[in-house]
Amino acid sequence: MSTGTLINIVIIVLIAWFAYTRMKPAKGLRNLNAEAFKEESVKYGAMIIDVREPGEFKGGFIPGARNIPLSQLSRRLGDIPRDKTLLLYCRSGMRSKNAAAVLRKNGYSDLAHLQGGISAWKGKLSK
């Protein structure tokens, strides 16, 4: 096998590994479609957390959501109750998965996120 072929294989494997680690489901996080997300927010009195940055939040957010950006999450754990279902969302679903990982490491367990992020939301937005 030539060196060029070997390098190409290594690059493909690294790209595949990177994609998998970004797309794999987060441990202990339920994926909800927009309908289930809305239903759970009402049914269980869940806390909705928008993990986008404040500028994104001001552009429109799911009614009742609190803005706790992922960049501030570790410092603001005191603002988040441990005894409630937490529904997380961001723009596309990537930051909410990362937020769930932070929350799980800090003892939170009842976590779900809006699959596809606010882009998948079909309801009204507040501003």
Contact of 81 with 44, CB cutoff 8 Å: no
Catalytic, out of 26, 29, 34, 90: 90
Contact of 114 with 88, CB cutoff 8 Å: yes
Give which of 89, 101, 111 is closest to 34, Cα–Cα: 89
Is 90 among the catalytic positions? yes
Q: Helix, strand or coil for residue 3? A: helix
- For tokens 């489901």, what's the residue? 25
What residues are labeled active site? 90
